[in-house]
Structure 1
Amino acid sequence: MPELFGRGAELEALEGVLDAVARGGSRLVLVRGEAGIGKTALLSVLRSRAVALRFVVCEGRASELERDVPLVPILDALGGSLVSSGSGAERWRAYRELGERVASVASGRPLLLLVDDVHWADPATLEFLDHLLRRPPEASLLLALGLRPSPVADRLLAARRASGAIELVSLDLAPLEREVAEALLADVVDADRVFEASGGNPLLLQELARSGGGVPGGIVAAVQAEVAALPEDAQRLLRAGAIAGDPFDLDVAIGIADLDLSRALGALDALEAATLVRSELAARRFAFRHPVVRGAVYEGLGSGARVSGHAAAARVLAGFGAALPVRAHHLAFAAVPGDLDAARILRAAAGEVRAQAPGVAADWLLAARRADPRGADLADLAETLVEAGRLTDALAIAGDSAEPRMAVAAASVERRLGRHDAARLRLRRALDAAATPEVAARVSADLAVAAYQRGEYAEMRGWAFRAADGTSGAVRAIAATLLAVGDAFAGEPLAGTSGLGDAVADDELGALAEPAMAISWGLLALDRLPDGLAAARRIAAAARRSGNGAAAIPHDLAAVLALGLLGRIAEAEPLADAAEQSARVSGNAQLVQWALWLDAWVLLERGRLDPALAAATESVELAQQLDDSASAIVARAVLGAVLIARGSHAEGRPLVAAYDIDHGWVCRWAPVLVESDIALGDLAAARGHAERAASLAPASGMAGARAAAARAQALVALAEEGSGWAAAAPLAAGLALQAIAEAESAGAALEAARAHLLAGRALLAHDRDAGIAQLRTAEEAAVRCGAPRVAEEAVLVLRQSGVRVGRGGPRAPGGEGLGALSPREREVAQLVAEGLTNREIGARLYLSEKTIETHLTRVFAKLGLRSRAQVAATVSRAG
């Protein structure tokens, strides 16, 4: 165990953390400080004490020169190979699999996952850590990260704050005080001068003490002076090792150094005697004394020596039959203009890692472009940069080109950055440059979609007319949908909206998946909920088959909205969660903002108000960094609805009242506003909101809007009953029954459940049996929907009416734990806990995979859980 000086408070804090995790908690420990300040030593003590407490310990370390090798620190820690992650934004699936591996590694014991030097971590590792902080496994987890103060630390802290899922312990290491450093200076001449030169940095103190205190210039200078005193062969092998990696393979380093075996072994003995390297557990692998030592050795190389060293490493690895990505890591340093073979290997390697590490792939493609500019596929490079979230770099590749294909792609990137005005300008230039009517129609369709996203529906209709003129296929379907939406918003009768996109081939929809979001979302705006759900799922699948995972996300979000409006909240929740994860990995701020308010809306309907508030707040805050759009306005309305549900009416009501885009949603928000008005005692405002919805609903042509408007009026009538108006309750009941009929015609099961609840409350006064029947229907329907807030309100009204509510049947989430499950659902949960897949469970029970999915969805809903790992943990705790 390394000796620590002056870290008593930090060690005491770590003892508390270990105790908390051992008792079932989860913690994030960030150990921050400059190079050499003692982060690694402190983490080593944490590791030793965790082992003594029978923790499962997994550890890895990032390295400055291996930042283009994806997930190496995590895979070193957890064991196993790189998991399959699909394409582009589907990387989150790999991170979910890794998260499940974290839970399985623990095997019921507390787990320490330790990753050092996180400031050097590759993008995929940072994405996974971000994912883990937002969705930690249910098992007792201590995630300990060592890193220097940097934007990486800020990113991880932001993820932890956003989720609130894991408690933080932050240890910021300060330089040692003079008296604490005394033990390190015992044998040093002129100790005061050496301490002053070190600034209290423990590693620099040790390096200066090792050199006799006579080397100014910090750690790098001290190490380089130590290296300069070595024999020539030892210096060559050490520098080769710095190029090869840390730890490095001895045979690779010997090849880079171009030493025969006898000389190399002598050099190795000299390095070990100087304690510059130490043997690893794996045969013929050696690590540097400290990562800073390796950095100092590498920094001591001239630029030419680095290039030639990495070129030699690539040749040696090729001779050993190493994989292309391993060779590409070195060629990215070594490739020079005109090196066509290096460019070919870099492009091939980029293709292999692009799905899991698009940032790495982009760097390799840029290196290949430097080596072979003529062979570069700029469109492919731009797409890879987009997948990596490096949107401004992708725009730099596109430049100011007015060539329609590049301009449309660049406009897409501008929208992903939330810069809608810049996107419109690019598309207008592309339209002016369009050489054929087909190209002009395609660009016009993009302009129509862009106007739709901004909420500018008059402009949308104009571009949609131009796009529809003389075109066919997906472009015509996009234009026709937007024209129908524009007509609906203008209060004109809907016509010609059947079969939108049905006749278009999947591959064409997949190729135009981004503008085709107008079909998915447009159908929902037209209140064609089942059609919108089917279109969203179809186009998302087509986009993924084409390798464009990011373009599938808006369709996933449309599916979430469709499921929510259909009252299938239990199904919507895991899809909303997946879409949010996928959006985060895509690096698209606009998509993340969009996904967050939808996730918040679903969580609100599920009755999970704390996470709903966190998601809605983050969505609104993120929208402030983007151009204003319809999505930003909706986010503020969702935040307002969550605040109202939490009882913060004065704060939430103005946010919902400010929504004034889609008349259908003005009607849908009306009951929320009316309930808030009534809670604040403002009956006049309640009447105004209900009357406005009643005036807008008929012109919308949408049953869902009419249902919400009728329910808002019923809420006002029921409130007026307390003012002594005798006809209020019958009027409220009649309006609620009207709302039920409209909601059922639209397939909006949750809206119907709310209307049943309202009808029951209105009927109780003059037809108790009918009222009770309506309330029971409301409870049963709400439980089927996975909406416990509505179910619990129905139960409350029943009990207040003297009705004994039975304990059997489906339960709302959190009701009775595993006792809420049916025998078959309990059986499925048990097999999930045993680690079986849905297919394996179906084979075991002689049921279809789809039936198992249905049972598992109900298990999630009844237990209030979100993942298979949580189900397994719940079953395990129940014995």
Structure 2
Amino acid sequence: MAGAGGSLTRRGLRGREAELEELEALIASVARTGSGGLVLLQGEPGIGKTTLLAEAASGARAAGFSVGVGKADELHHIVPLSSLAACLLHGDQPLLSGDAFADLSRTHDQRIWLVERLAEAIEARAGSVPVLIGLDDAQWADPLSRFALKQLPTRLRTSPVLWVLTARREPAGPAEEVVAAAVGNLPAVTVPLGPLSGAAIDQLAGDTLGAAVDGNVRDLLDGAGGNPFLAAEMLAGLRTAEASDGLMPPGLVVGVRGRLSSLRPDTLRFLQMGAVLGRSFGFHDAAALCGRPTAALIAALEEAVRAGLLDDDGDHLVFRHDLLRQAVYVDIPPSARKALHREAAHHLVSAGHQPIDAVPHVLRGALPGDEEAVALLRRAADDVLPVTPGLAADLMTRALDLVPSALPLRFTVGEQTILALTRAGRNREALTTGDRLLAGRPPLEAFGRLQAALGGTLWNMDLAGELRRRVETALAAGGAAPEIGARLAALRALALSRGDDLVAAREAGETALRAATAAGDREAHILALSGLGEIAQNAGENAVALERFAALSAIDSAFLPEEIVAHLHVDDFESGERLLSEAADRAGATRQAMMLWAQGQHDLGLGRLDDADAGFMTMERLEDEVQVPVQQVNGRVIRSRIALLRGDREAAREHLVAARERLVAKPNPGNTAAVRFLEAVHAEADGDIGLAVDRIRQVQQEGPFMRWRLLRDWVDSAIRMALRGAEHELAEDLAAQAGAHAERNAAVPTARGIAAQALGLVRNDPAMLEHAAELLKASPRPLVRAAAYADLGEALLAAGRKRPAAAALAHARSTFAESGAHAAAARAQRAREESGAGGRRAAAKQRPVQGWGALTASEKKVARLIAAGHTNRSAAGLLVVSPHTVNTHLTSVFQKLSVNSRVQLANLVMALPDS
């Protein structure tokens, strides 16, 4: 960090003793405790953030840390993962190899999966030595790095990883977002850097000039306002002036320009071309913009380095400080800047750079009607769509702005823009964009394309009726290419899946599938199979649904969660578990939140309430992270029922409130029916049977398809409510529904057993309930079996058959208890006591809030595995759950045990009597 004219040793640390001590304390704490931390160094440009970060990195290395430090760049702030690449690939021992990082950056549509892989790599390094990861100028971090930085510190809070960010003061900026995400999860400190004191500036001047500071120099330095970098530049300018004619240009900026004015014209021009390219740039690229061969510019490069303006690391040239780059850049006339950015974009693409590398120049230099710029933005948007759909949407919106409304190209670009906006979850913006384009009266072929592109938008917005209206209008208009016609037909079938006439919907789906096959269009094929799968599910035809979803996931593995859940609906948990295990190895090609939904359904079906609850909670968190809520209402409904089964009424109510809140955002019939059913369950628990029956009736009226989807495994609860409310006709309707479902799924033991159970409840027939219990012995769902035995026991008890009643109730109680359904187990025990066979009931044991006894069975398993040295991923493999679910369990473990690191957890587990 020496300037022109000699060393400025420790100049940025003058007056920073307190801040340096704070950093040293954090470094020592991370090394001592084995837990993570985060610090943000914040202040104006040149205030000393970079120097303090460098000192922290140096101190951490000396303390045995593995260190990775990088810098975000203003002109590369949109290149996906470029900022974190700078942190993880640099240093003596890079945290990731270049090949491994390249594999991560190619991950398809999986920001969450990518973050998990990064976490695993950092966690592995932190298992042997503490780690410091520093990012300078975090205000310019690219979107994907920002996403990762908001997740990684919390994800790695139990490992010795210290994150050090520097950033300018920017309310609600990227760095502030990272800190906000970390607060409450790990120690997070913001260190503001203010102006240096006059005494510190005097010391800085003495370091530079090698002599006592006189009044004239002190007066001059007052213009630096306590900014160490600017003071140093003024001092360097002073030394340059003294070495020439003794003149010192007045004013701070003029002082920096004074240094530049001493350069030869070729050198200044070379620096200007570099400033256009960014703070870091290639020698060949700058030479190309100068229009000169590289050999002719060696002297200019040498002078710029000697002047302390550029550093040369062998691969790139870097302005020593961004303020220097800005001083050069602002002296280029604005019109020339635009032209140079356009030339830079053209050169970078011609030289083989990725389109995204040229995009910052396009954004600064493109003019309306620039079709080359539009083409470049489109290519870049395609490249980044899988990992940063929001950025892709921004690029396409800009591309659309550049295309004049009179050009046919506008409709092609508009179609791509709609798709990108929809992928980014910006559905309303996509619909507005589409309608604006449609108002331009496009040709019939473009009209069909735009309506097909809006299909996913309308489906995401739960506007099935509007989707059907639009695609039918487009189909009737004609003129669409065969593949677009096939997509429109498939979208129509998808829309019909939400209607009452599922026979007509199925016929439409089959027709669409034939059209997709004939057109050879993959997108149409996916849409048709998706529609047919939805239709089969809504008709209660589980085997057909499995066939459709299996075919769908064979084409696109992103739909594997749908196939897994379809296997569970036919009681094939073995295949579901196999697919979940396979998905863990190729998770980069699936939707992580939906995989957790499938995992949660799998665990719930097998009575693993702890894992199911953690899985649904993690699913919601991941959906929040990517801002694409899909299953949050249903997840909260299930979590509320789990809480009621456990006996946690407070948590159950909290989940009900959350489900209602999320219903406002997605008030489709399915979500509405799910919340109404949950309200019925709560009303029954509160003793309000009238309200419970009213809500069940509403569920039945939401639409025929909801009967199969929602009440597939819960119809027995609905029948009990109806019977308690003396609504026998409603109970019979529900039992008939269960019978029809069994007929559609004759090979599924759970379906046949539930139908017999429903009939037995309505008829109050112990023999039928006993038959149901026998049928359900073949079901893999313990909670369903337990409920059937509880019903059988109570019916036998009412019939005066106390001995068999006690046996059935004992079976129900033990099965409920094994699943963690303690409230349900207690109800079965109370009923058993009424039979006279229960003995004296032991007082219910309240689980403590803190300590080892507060942990659930799943949390104890996770704690023991992590204490034994397993990573989240290896523990997940042994437990057959997602690494994200392990992380959720681990968070709870640390809170309940009041520990902050894996080392502390290991020590605690080792001290347990049974460890």
Decide whether aligned partners of structure 1 residues 340 and 693 sit closer, same or farther in structure 2, where only a CA change above 3 A counts: closer
Match of 2:145 in 1: 125
Q: Is the 8 A contact 1:760 1:775 kept in 2?
A: no
Cα distance in 2 for residues equivalent to 1:698 and 1:445: 22
User: Secondary structure at the residue paired with 1:647?
Assistant: helix
Task: After superposition, give the CA deviation of every residue in 1:303-332 in whole Å (9 maximum; x if it has no partner).
Answer: 45446656776787789x654558746874
Look up the match of 2:328: 297
* Greater relative contact order structure (CA < 8 Å, 6+ sep): 2
Does the residue aligned with 1:25 lie in a helix, a strand or coil? Answer: coil
SS state at 1:234 partner:
helix
CA distance in 2, matches of 1:339, 1:664: 47
Q: What secondary structure, in the 3-state scheme, does the structure 1 residue paired with 2:810 have?
A: helix
Distance 2:678 2:348 in 1: 65
Cross-structure match for 1:4: 13
Equivalent residue number for residue 38 of structure 2? 28
Q: CA deviation at 1:400?
A: 2.5
Q: Following the alignment from structure 1 to structure 2, what is the Cα–Cα distance between the partners of residues 537 and 86?
A: 26
Q: Which residue of 1 aligns with 2:449?
A: 405
Give, in angstroms, the shift of residue 57 of structure 1: 0.9
1:647 aligned partner, one-letter code: E
The Cα of 1:203 is off from its aligned counterpart by: 3.4
> Is the CA contact 1:36–1:203 (under 8 Å) kept in the aligned structure 2?
yes
What does residue 124 of structure 2 align with? 104
Shift of 1:521: 3.8
For residues 318 and 656 of structure 1, the distance between their equivalents in structure 2, rounded to whole angstroms, comes to 49
1:781-838 Cα offsets, whole Å, 9 max, x none, are x4xxxx78899989999999689xxxxxxx95234569899xxxx9xx99x97999xx
Match of 1:814 among 845, 849, 859: 859
Aligned-partner SS, 1:3: helix
**Is 322-331 or 140-149 further displaced after alignment?**
322-331
Instruction: Tell me the residue number matched to 2:711.
Output: 705
Q: 1:61 aligns with which of 68, 71, 80?
A: 71
Letter in 1 for 2:74: E
Corresponding position of 2:877: 856
What is the deviation of 1:89? 2.4
| Equivalent position to 2:811, from 773, 792, 796 | 773
Match of 1:539 among 552, 563, 566: 552
Query: Shift in Å at residue 28 of structure 1?
Result: 3.1
Partner of 2:134: 114
CA distance in 2, matches of 1:683, 1:470: 41
- 1:774 Cα deviation after fit: 3.6
What is the letter of the counterpart of residue 296 of structure 1?
A
CA distance in 1: counterparts of 2:534 and 2:467, whole angstroms = 20
Please point out which of 177, 201, 225 is paired with 1:157. Answer: 177
User: Which letter maps to 2:84?
Assistant: I
- Distance of 2:829 and 2:885 partners within structure 1: 20
Cα separation, partners in 2 of 1:537 and 1:57, compared to 1, 3 Å: farther
Q: Does 1:229 align with 2:262?
A: yes
Match of 1:73 in 2: 83
2:714 aligned counterpart, secondary structure: helix
1:462–1:206 Cα change, 3 Å? farther
Residue correspondences, number: 779
Contact 1:111/1:141 (8 A) holds in 2 = yes
8 Å CA contact retained: 2:568, 2:602: no
What are the residue-to-residue correspondences of 1:602-641 with 2, within 5 Å? 605-606=609-610, 634=634, 637=637
TM-aligned CA deviation for residue 232 of structure 1: 1.7
CA distance in 2, matches of 1:651, 1:834: 29
In structure 1, the partner of 2:732 is none
Report matched runs for 1:705-724 at 5 Å: 705=711, 707-711=713-717
Alignment deviations for residues 694-742 of structure 1 (CA, whole Å, 9 cap, x no partner)? 999999774972752324666999999xxxxxxx9x9799998688679
The alpha-carbon distance between structure 1 residues 227 and 712, as it changes in their structure 2 partners (threshold 3 A), is same
Contact 1:506 1:542 in 2 (8 A): no
1:240 aligns with one of 273, 281, 286: 273
Greater shift, 43-52 or 129-138, is seen at 129-138
Does the 8 Å CA contact 2:70/2:84 hold for their aligned counterparts? yes
* Cα deviation digits, residues 596-653 of structure 1 (max 9, x gap): 9999989994457688568659979999x99xxx978657746765886462455555
Letter in 2 for 1:235: L
Greater C-alpha radius of gyration: 2
Q: Give ranges in structure 1 of 5+ residues lacking alignment.
A: 478-503, 545-551, 586-591, 721-727, 804-810, 837-852
Cα distance in structure 1, aligned partners of 2:149 and 2:168: 16
State the match for 1:276 in structure 2: 309
Map of 2:533 onto structure 1: 520
Secondary structure at 2:38 match in 1:
strand
Pairwise CA RMSD of aligned residues? Answer: 6.4
Q: Could you tell me which amino acid in structure 2 is paired with residue 408 of structure 1? A: A
Inter-CA distance 91–374: structure 2 relative to 1 (3 Å threshold): farther
Is the alpha carbon distance of 1:90 and 1:229 closer, same or farther for their aligned partners in structure 2, counting shifts above 3 Å?
Answer: same
Identity level (%): 22
Question: Which amino acid letter does the alignment assign opposite residue 709 of structure 1?
Answer: V
The Cα of 1:83 is off from its aligned counterpart by 1.9
Q: Tell me the distance in 2 between the aligned counterparts of 1:668 and 1:733.
A: 30
Structure 1 residues 453-503: Cα deviation after superposition (integer angstroms, max 9, x where no partner): xxxx5xx348995995697133899xxxxxxxxxxxxxxxxxxxxxxxxxx
Q: Please state whether the residue corresponding to 2:86 is helix, strand or coil.
A: helix
Q: CA deviation at 1:389?
A: 6.4
How far has the Cα of 1:754 moved from its partner?
5.4
**Which residue in 1 is equivalent to 2:751?**
none
Per the alignment, in what secondary structure is the counterpart of residue 513 of structure 1? helix
TM-score (norm 2): 0.64
Instruction: Please say if 1:511 is aligned against 2:524.
Output: yes
Letter in 1 for 2:650: G
Equivalent residue, structure 2, for 1:492: none
Report which stretch shifted further, 300-309 or 57-66: 300-309
C-alpha separation between the residues in 2 aligned to 1:718 and 1:735?
Answer: 19
**Matching of residue 203 in structure 1 with residue 229 in structure 2:** yes
Is the 2:543–2:570 contact (alpha carbons within 8 Å) kept by the matching residues of 1? no
- Tell whether 2:475 aligns with 1:472: no
Q: 1:164 & 1:301 partners in 2: Cα distance?
A: 47
Structure 2: segments with no counterpart, 5+ residues: 1-9, 90-97, 207-212, 239-246, 727-760, 831-837, 844-855, 892-901, 911-915
Tell me how far 1:108 sits from its aligned partner: 2.4
* 2:300 paired residue number: 267
* TM-superposed deviation, 1:744: 7.6
Equivalent residue number for residue 913 of structure 2: none
Could you say which residue in structure 2 is the equivalent of 1:549? none
Matching of residues 300-311 of structure 1 within 5 Å: 300-303=331-334, 305-306=336-337, 309=340
Contact 2:385–2:420 (CA<8 Å) still a contact in 1?
yes
Q: Is the 8 A contact 1:78 1:101 kept in 2?
A: no
Asked whether the 8 Å contact 2:538–2:709 carries over to 1, the reply is no
Counterpart residue type for residue 813 of structure 1: S
Deviates more, 1:706-715 or 1:609-618: 609-618
With over 3 angstroms needed to count, the CA separation of the structure-2 counterparts of 1:350 and 1:522, relative to structure 1, is: closer
Matched, 1:148 2:168: yes
**Match in the other structure for 2:94:** none
Gap change, CA 1:266 and 1:639, over 3 Å in 2: same
The 1-side partners of 2:461 and 2:221 are apart by 49
Conserved? CA contact 1:670–1:690, under 8 Å: yes
Q: Give SS of 1:400's match.
A: helix
Tell me what 2:53 maps to: 43
Paired with 1:600 and 1:98, the residues of 2 have a C-alpha distance of: 24
Q: State the Cα distance separating 1:44 from its structure 2 match.
A: 2.0
For residue 276 of structure 1, report the CA deviation from its aligned partner. 1.5
Moved more, 166-175 or 654-663: 654-663
Supply the distance in 2 between the matched residues of 1:574 and 1:633 (Cα, whole angstroms).
Answer: 26
Give the direction of change, closer, same or farther, for the CA distance of 1:114–1:562 in structure 2 (3 Å limit). Answer: farther
SS in 2 for 1:113: strand
Cα distance, 1:862 vs. partner?
12
Residues in 1 aligned to 2:884 and 2:146: alpha-carbon distance in whole angstroms? 31
Contact 2:115 2:151 in 1 (8 A): yes
